[in-house]
Structure 1
């Protein structure tokens, strides 16, 4: 990619082709900016929706709101989209907006280094290719690095072992003894799908999840026709979803007692679905609802209640060649172990090495705390913009809405840079400090600080993942860049 310091339009490298990367690319095109390259580590687009192909993979945000506002899909098959349909929608966006020519597949980014003499970034991939650009936009998501359980003896297991985010479809589970480690958002979807096939299933649960019924069903043909023929109805339906979801932010971030209504509903739901009293006792959590991600499913409880499913709540001591040994000395034999242990969500941009001003790496800048101004920019890393960065995840609404807000902010920054060719913008340290302090102060009142261990918290127990408020306040905060928040740097050469 050519250095465009002498021209008017800055050149851009986008890392990742999930929802964030596609949104950024489409909006660049719509703004008339075509000097961008998308680097994708895999052989296809889709991010988490490409990787998570486990049986039953689906979204827990309603289809009409888990899609771009500028590219509505009228013929969603269900109220909550399934993985193949969501991935198909993303591919449709690539085709419609002509993004294929910009994408370089099998290009995993190893390093990105800022050159102060030219105000450009050099992005190098693991195969040695390098791309120089004025701007780097990272769109790698928070759920792209599978987290393996730290259990002694994993390598000694002689059966089949895989992570739910790297599902091995070539392995036949029929009639097998299967062990599933973890009972989070992925397990709650794939366990009901595999229970009818397996001979036995040992389900290792560290802590129970709060589970609510999923208000899901297929759309009727007439509903799809209505969405297609009356765009205003499609918009209104999306609007209703937004406000229904958004109202829950109050319960998560301010008035935690409101969540007790959901706790009552969840307990009632569990009691109506689970007949085994031992299982029921262990399936209702002992922590405050909302402290960890609330899950939605209609078939989780009936699946776990099956007699050939053994719910194991004793701690795991080690993995041996033919199964898993718990701390009480019991051996749970298994032909296959499936890790449903989620992702390293707080390890942002790992394992890439990003080096900014004065040779400081992002890992060094984040040694004490992972933080970014508005979740997008970090002091010392000019013209580096993050999508789905620190403290921009949601527990109550659609991340696609947040991504669109972030993309608009990045476009506003690019507009600012276009007016001053060759200049780089670096967020002022005090602006970042003040913003981060405000975020952490607001999080103190949230249910996520009520004492449980969750993937929202980093190794120091700090919530570096979630946004502590309404999405409309975030949209307002990212509407347009304030140049006073930034230092503008001339190239040093």
Structure 2
């Protein structure tokens, strides 16, 4: 198929891709395409639609700062509401017409002579563009564990990232593998009607009560008429989350970490009377090493007679059930995989990216260290920004990460326009300086000072470094994105 040249190609139509598209439009770039392998926009909020799905960050905070939504029904909104918000923002900023759905990217290669990116799709099409922006997200490649016999199971198998909406758990014998944030939301829903639910836990998770409120019609009218009122609520929720990250994670404070763990401990004690069960649900690592979550139902689910917690591990799976390491077997009709995503092996990067002098991004990251200047730029990859990179994520709220990344794009593309330039590449010196600073900052955090060895957290790369996270406050990240030296880039 013939090649089509564009100003920019954005890969991913989730909130990062939508934000990047909005920023390009602000810079006067309109000849771009957003490619997404799914049939609709929204990223993880389109793909995920399992029962009980809600956001685990208050929606006053979990939204674009420049686009508040006065119509949230609850402080912690449902997945369907978040998806609707994505639709509304895309429509308001006329992003949808740029999106090409069912378009899977297989590879991207920099053409040094033409100064263009060549992007190859699974259907054989090739697109060329001056700029390439990957917005594939951190939670985009579902992980299926290689458990002996898993492919021999003859019942129904469903992954939470590919939920079957027609499935009815009523009177079913279900085995669910995983107790991460997704499972915390799903398990109480399955426990309502299942004849029997066996939960296979490898690593316990910290769960604290969810202080959720419903926004009345009156409150929503007030938010719409006086947006400052909603921004005031956001200021409070932003501050609380920033405080939690700052004193509990970025500056490791054992007393604060212990206090947070005690809150989860008190919640377990208040909801579970069985001491042995409480101990099984108690994490062995420090609070914050693995992303904690909020639920008023999760612990209570294990007090139901039809729910069983298995912590000895899985030996193998047979045609009709799961055999645990302690020799017990649970006969099941349905196997639910709440096993999360393959972040480091399949997502960094999500497809092959070849830069200048033939440098392969994935191979280079693995041969050296996972690294990216301000979480977006990599040397030897001209005109390339990766929004889901090492050191990109600001703790608990993805939208805060998107905020500083949009500021970074604004400064960079503004400088290109000012100079009449068309090419940028982060210098090796700037990248090394940034990597050294991130390594130093991480040295004083919970992740290196605390007890995180048993957390099995996706924050840590295969080498044991917590390089998913940018160890600084949102305020500092936004400030740096708005004021970094443009001389850190070679611009021509």
- Tell me the residue number matched to 1:269: 267
Distance 1:221 1:102 in 2: 34
Distance 1:464 1:188 in 2: 25
The root-mean-square deviation of aligned C-alpha atoms, in Å, is: 1.6
Aligned residue runs from structure 1 range 432-451, under 5 A: 432-449=431-448, 450=451, 451=453
Task: Decide which moves more: 275-284 or 191-200.
Answer: 275-284
2:64 paired with 1:68: yes
Of 434, 457, 480, the match for 2:460 = 457
Deviation at 1:3, TM superposition (A): 4.5
- Tell me the residue number matched to 2:474: 471
Distance 2:291 2:278 in 1: 20
Distance 1:27 1:287 in 2: 40
Deviation at 1:275, TM superposition (A): 2.5
Give the conservation status (yes or no) of the 8 Å contact 2:174–2:335: yes
2:233 paired with 1:234: no
Distance 1:66 1:349 in 2: 24
TM-score, length of structure 2 as denominator length: 0.95
Task: Decide which moves more: 234-243 or 126-135.
Answer: 234-243
Deviation readout 1:178-231 (Å, 9 max, x if unpaired): 000010000000110111111101100012111100111211222212211212
2:199 paired with 1:203: yes
Give the conservation status (yes or no) of the 8 Å contact 1:388–1:403: no
Give the conservation status (yes or no) of the 8 Å contact 2:183–2:338: yes
Do the aligned partners of residues 206 and 277 (structure 1) sit closer, same or farther apart at CA in structure 2, a change above 3 Å counting?
same
Distance 2:483 2:80 in 1: 35
Give the conservation status (yes or no) of the 8 Å contact 2:136–2:350: no
Give the conservation status (yes or no) of the 8 Å contact 1:175–1:198: yes
Flag structure 1 segments of 5+ consecutive residues without an equivalent.
5-10
Of 164, 186, 189, the match for 2:185 = 189
Of 132, 156, 164, the match for 1:168 = 164
Give the conservation status (yes or no) of the 8 Å contact 2:57–2:76: yes
Give the conservation status (yes or no) of the 8 Å contact 2:348–2:362: no
2:245 paired with 1:283: no
The ranges of structure 1 where at least 4 consecutive aligned residues each deviate by more than 4 angstroms after the TM superposition are 1-4, 419-422
Distance 1:157 1:13 in 2: 41
- Tell me the residue number matched to 2:406: 407
TM-score, length of structure 1 as denominator length: 0.94
Distance 2:385 2:303 in 1: 47
Deviation at 1:27, TM superposition (A): 2.3
Give the conservation status (yes or no) of the 8 Å contact 2:280–2:311: yes
Give the conservation status (yes or no) of the 8 Å contact 2:169–2:194: yes
- Tell me the residue number matched to 2:130: 134
- Tell me the residue number matched to 1:119: 115
Give the conservation status (yes or no) of the 8 Å contact 2:142–2:161: yes
Give the conservation status (yes or no) of the 8 Å contact 1:346–1:464: no
- Tell me the residue number matched to 1:304: 302
Distance 1:243 1:361 in 2: 40
Deviation readout 1:402-447 (Å, 9 max, x if unpaired): 1021022123222223345564211111221221122122212222
- Tell me the residue number matched to 1:357: 356
Where 1:142 maps in the other structure, the secondary structure is: coil
- Tell me the residue number matched to 2:385: 385
Give the conservation status (yes or no) of the 8 Å contact 2:210–2:295: yes
Of 251, 254, 257, the match for 2:248 = 251
- Tell me the residue number matched to 2:330: 332
Do the aligned partners of residues 212 and 417 (structure 1) sit closer, same or farther apart at CA in structure 2, a change above 3 Å counting?
same
- Tell me the residue number matched to 1:426: 425
Deviation at 1:255, TM superposition (A): 3.2
Where 1:134 maps in the other structure, the secondary structure is: strand
Task: Decide which moves more: 181-190 or 417-426.
Answer: 417-426
Distance 1:421 1:155 in 2: 57
Of 29, 32, 37, the match for 1:41 = 37
Deviation readout 1:437-467 (Å, 9 max, x if unpaired): 2212221222223323211112211212112
- Tell me the residue number matched to 1:101: 97
Give the conservation status (yes or no) of the 8 Å contact 1:175–1:197: yes
Give the conservation status (yes or no) of the 8 Å contact 1:291–1:454: yes
Where 2:24 maps in the other structure, the secondary structure is: helix
Deviation at 1:305, TM superposition (A): 1.6
Distance 1:109 1:410 in 2: 23
Distance 1:305 1:420 in 2: 65
Give the conservation status (yes or no) of the 8 Å contact 2:394–2:400: no
Deviation readout 1:292-345 (Å, 9 max, x if unpaired): 111110110111221111100001111111111111222111111111111122
- Tell me the residue number matched to 1:317: 315
Do the aligned partners of residues 422 and 134 (structure 1) sit closer, same or farther apart at CA in structure 2, a change above 3 Å counting?
farther
Distance 1:307 1:286 in 2: 26
Distance 1:426 1:350 in 2: 18
Deviation at 1:176, TM superposition (A): 0.8
2:92 paired with 1:89: no
